[in-house]
Amino acid sequence: MNEITLEDLHGYLDEALSESETARIERALRNSLSLRQVLRGVMLERDRGEHTVGAIWRRHRLSCPTREQLGSYLLKVLDEGLQDYIRFHLDTIGCSYCQANLTDLQSRQREPAAATQARRKKLFQSSAGLLRSR
């Protein structure tokens, strides 16, 4: 479906959409004054503390597969029903959190261990100073 829904705009503001969906919405926003007005309305509603079932679903990741299931999805060892559902969740829903997990699982097999270790060491060193009994 090509129409941009209110839920698409909520997902866009939550950074919960796929890369291609985000790009599609930004293109549409640039070209449509009426869509920008709708977005303005959505932002004002959110500022007032209003929310939607869809926003709650996304934020709490109610239907997201587990990371273990995503790993099995990559290996194509799941039951057909679950394999198909995860494909739907990733491609049709475009869940950015699950896409990130999938990308990470794939890159763990490719990225040189030394590069990963160096990055983690930097992250640790830049934050460990904040550790104290909390």
Partner 1 sequence: MASTSADSDRLLVQQIRRGDATAWDRLIERYEGRLLAFVERRLHDRSAGEDVVQETFIGFLNSLPNFDETRDLQTYLFTIAAHKLTDYLRRIGRHPLQNLPEGQEFLEQQVDSQPGVSSIARSKEREQLETDAVVKVLSHMINEWKAAGEFTRVKVLELLFVKGWANKDVAAFLSIKEQQVANIRFAAVRKMGENMKDSGLPEEVFPGLKRQA
Scanning residues 46 to 75, which ones bind partner 1 (CB under 8 A)?
A: 47-49, 51-54, 56-63, 66-68
Q: Per rule CB under 8 A, is residue 91 in the interface with partner 1? A: no
Tally of helices (H runs) and strands (E runs) in the chain: 8, 0
Q: Which of residues 13-32 bind partner 1 (CB under 8 A)?
A: 14-16, 18-19, 22, 26, 29-30
* Interaction of residue 124 with partner 1, rule CB under 8 A: yes
For partner 1, the binding residues in 93-112 under the rule CB under 8 A are 93, 96-97, 99-101, 103-104, 107-108
The four Cα atoms 121, 69, 12, 26 give a dihedral, to 10 degrees, of: 90
Say how far apart CA 83 and CA 76 lie, in whole Å. Answer: 7
Among 34, 75, 110, 133, binds partner 1 (CB under 8 A): 133
